[in-house]
Amino acid sequence: MRTYAGHSDARRSNELYRRNLEKGQTGLSVAFDLPTQTGYDPDHELARGEVGKVGVSIAHAGDMRTLLEGIPLDQMNTSMTINATAAWLLGLYIVAAEDQNVEESALQGTTQNDILKEYLSRGTYSFPPGPSMRLIADTIAYTVQHVPKWNPINICSYHLQEAGATPVQEIAYAMSNAIAVLDAVRERVPEELMGSVFGRISFFVNAGVRFIEEHAKLRAMALLWDELGRTRYDVQDDRHRRFRYGVQVNSLGLTEAQSENNVYRIALEALAVTLGRDARARALQLPAWNEALGLPRPWDQQWSLRLQQILAYETDLLEYPDIFEGSIVMDGLVAELVKGAREEMGHVAALGGAVKAVDYMKSALVESHRERWRRIESGELTVVGMNRFESTEPSPLTADADGGILVVDPEVEAEQRAALETWRSERDSAAVDAALSELARVARDDSENIMPATIAAARAGATTGEWSQTLREVFGEYRAPTGVGDAVAAPSESLSEVRDEVERLSEALGRRLKFLVGKPGLDGHSNGAEQIAVRARDAGMDVVYEGIRLTPSQIASSAAQEGVHVIGLSILSGSHAELIPSVLSALTEAGVENVPVVVGGIIPEADAAKLREAGVAAVYTPKDWDLNAMMRDIVTLVAQRHGADTAAPA
């Protein structure tokens, strides 16, 4: 039992971990900030506003040492949510263990290390797919031989559901992803090790509120995994073929409106992954009830930990064998999901496997998400408190002045920059240079394993940004597909009114209403931006959407060159207070005038007021779920700026 935690710098997170361990938490789950996850140092342009924001900033071995101070690593099980830079963070962890005189072979834990879902959903990739798969294969090959108790990869279907995946898609893409990884590892380890490799692969799945079907999904995954081991990789040992998974329950279905109801949702979702023993999660991670509002406080995390403890220690959940054994209904559900998943896996295989099918899978997910949203808007799908039973008493839980969320001290970024400078000036720079050029050499030679050179660079004092930059220079940079191009248009009736307004405004403007949807900074959560882009297109606008990770000046230059009439910015990482004003001043600098800017994201009202004061025309939060209403707002806004009339002719 553990909660996903980490914020600000290594020292503050270390204090938080020790507090949680005292309360009975049995392992660590480290959250890193976006610069660490995407391979930028705290002083890089793209890191602005993100340092210490969604997790802890770890720039070098010294930070890692501080993070784990006083926590005995030979007894600790540490899960690290790290992907593009997983090899590097594992290297830092091994070096921190050396400092505690703990052998690498004694270490236990998990690196998430799953890149495909970063392209498909989460957005913290650094390198192109080919080289990224090699880094994954290298860490697996290395840990199987040197850190045998380590789970080198956690294949995540969690984020696919967050991006809109149906149960069938979640199963099929996770399995296809696993196949791509295993095929890559097979080329790098002796054949006799493939059984242990297979056995070290674990999954990280999602559990939604439709908890019966979700339980069936897990049984289906266990079945397919066992089959894959037997048929494709000839895994003889039954234990190696066991489907091991951890869970974080669904965030997509949590609501900002009446957010206290999320506690019930989370409890039901927890049942999906614990009810039947044959498909029970090995690790359970529950989000805090107020995640849709921002970063949870210690008390919110405690509340979520207590739910797990009640399930485990008060209920009789763990006292029985598999309670679905012999259930005709459950078996039927499982068979249906397996059949659908096999078909979809066949489709991915026909495209050349998961790496080549990234574009296809991304488009399919955007389309599923669009369909889900349409059902919520039309009322086909009930979300209590949001599109039904909306009336509510004022909540005492969110009444306190800070808006009910933990706010990261803005000083952290400046402190981390200064600390990094000190670190750089105190290390042996010749040793760092030598370690990095060795890293580059190994990167160019596909037959070598990246880990030894990575560990050596960590020991020499290289930084997260330096390790990543060295690899970027060898591997090249990459922009993942946005998936929006192929999404099907929504049925026209619901949109016809706003479409007419767009047409009239476009006529009045002389050219079609043009809308730039931008994601500044490192935040990779693009689901919202994608759905806005698709809806605006369906409403008849020309939409410029370039995907994630743009600097304020890139957004401003696109706005100027493209001649857009309105700009929408989406930020979910909580860095709006720094990034939005930067975009506004970049726009002024680029000579973009009279173009209203609207902002969407997880933005507390106090911040929203400040943004409006700074010149933002409108702020949208998760409670503004009616996208058509948002489109009409945007039309009105542009019309007002241009003195145009969009009313229907009498």
The contact set with another protein (CB under 8 A) reads: 128, 130, 359, 474-477, 479, 482, 484-485, 489, 492, 495, 499, 502-503, 508-512, 533-534, 536-547, 551, 553-554, 556-558, 560-563, 591, 642-645
Name which of 422 and 561 has its Cβ closer to another protein: 561
How far apart (Å, rounded) are the C-alpha atoms in residues 435 and 441? 10
Residue with tokens 């949203």: 373
- The two tokens of residue 177 are 């992803």
Q: Which is nearer to another protein, 333 or 516 (CB)?
A: 516
Residue 635's φ and ψ, nearest 5 degrees, are -60, -45
Rounded (10°) angle between helices 627-642 and 527-538: 70
Give kind and range of the element (H or E) at residue 94. helix 86-99
Comparison of 447 and 594: residue with beta carbon closer to another protein: 594
Query: Cβ of residue 619: shortest distance to another protein, in angstroms?
Result: 23
Catalytic residue among 215, 369, 519, 565: 519
Of the pair 433, 477, the CB lying nearest another protein is at 477
Q: How many whole angstroms separate alpha carbon 164 and alpha carbon 508?
A: 37
| DSSP, res 489 | P
Cα–Cα distance for residue pair 376/455, rounded to 1 Å: 49
Is-contact 53 78, C-beta < 8 A? no
Of 120 and 153, which has the nearer Cβ to another protein? 120
Nearest to 572 by CA among 266, 302, 252, 111: 252
Helix (H) or strand (E) holding 30: strand 28-31
Question: How far is 1 from 149, CA to CA, in rounded Å?
Answer: 18
Cβ neighbours of residue 649 closer than 8 Å, sequence gap 6 or more: none
Distance CA 73, CA 108 (A): 8
CA distance 428 to 461: 8
The type of residue at 490 is: A
Element housing 108 (H / E): strand 108-111
Query: C-beta of 438: minimal distance to another protein in Å?
Result: 20
Please say which residue, 70 or 352, places its beta carbon nearer to another protein. 352
300 contacts: CB under 8 Å, gap ≥ 6: 288, 289, 290
| Residues contacting residue 579 through CB under 8 Å, at least 6 positions apart | 48, 49, 520, 521, 552, 569, 571
- From 159, 362, 369, 576, the catalytic residue: 159
Residue 641: CB minimum distance to another protein, A? 10
For Cα atoms 367, 527, 384, give the angle at the middle one, nearest 5 degrees: 90
519 is catalytic: yes
**Residue 120: DSSP 8-state:** I
Task: For another protein, give the closer residue by CB, 131 or 404.
Answer: 131
- Shortest distance (Å) from residue 631 CB to another protein: 11
Q: Which is nearer to another protein, 447 or 492 (CB)?
A: 492
Query: Which position among 125, 158, 173, 620 bears the catalytic label?
Result: 158
Kindly give the pairing relationship between strand 597-601 and strand 154-156: unpaired
As a whole number of angstroms, the distance between CA 578 and CA 599 comes to: 13
Q: Report in angstroms how near the CB of residue 357 gets to another protein at its nearest.
A: 13
Residues sharing a CB contact under 8 Å with residue 432, sequence separation 6 or more, in sequence order: 457, 460, 461, 462, 466
- By beta-carbon proximity to another protein, the closer residue of 47 and 541 is 541
Residue 40 designated active-site = no
Give the C-alpha separation, 548 to 163, whole Å. 15
Phi, psi (degrees; rounded to nearest 5) at 401: -60, -30
Nearer to another protein, 468 or 558 (CB): 558
Residue 93 among the catalytic residues: no
For another protein, the closer of residues 337 and 617 by Cβ is 617
Q: Which of 43, 523, 538, 607 is catalytic?
A: 523
Q: Does 642 participate in catalysis according to the annotation?
A: no
Q: Tell me the C-alpha distance between 121 and 112, whole Å.
A: 14
State in angstroms the smallest separation of the CB of 568 from another protein. Answer: 13
* Residue 246 three-state SS: strand
The secondary structure of residue 388, as a DSSP letter, is: B
Strands 154-156 and 202-207: parallel
Examine the residue annotation and report whether 525 is marked as an active-site residue of this protein.
Answer: yes
Here the tokens at position 315 are 């209920």
Q: What gap in Å lies between CA 619 and CA 213, rounded to an integer?
A: 36
State the minimum distance, in angstroms, from the CB of residue 489 to another protein.
5
For residue 264, indicate whether it is catalytic.
no
Q: Per-residue DSSP letters for 59-80?
A: -SHHHHHHHTTTS-TTT-EEEE
Please give the positions annotated as active site: 4, 158-159, 519, 523, 525
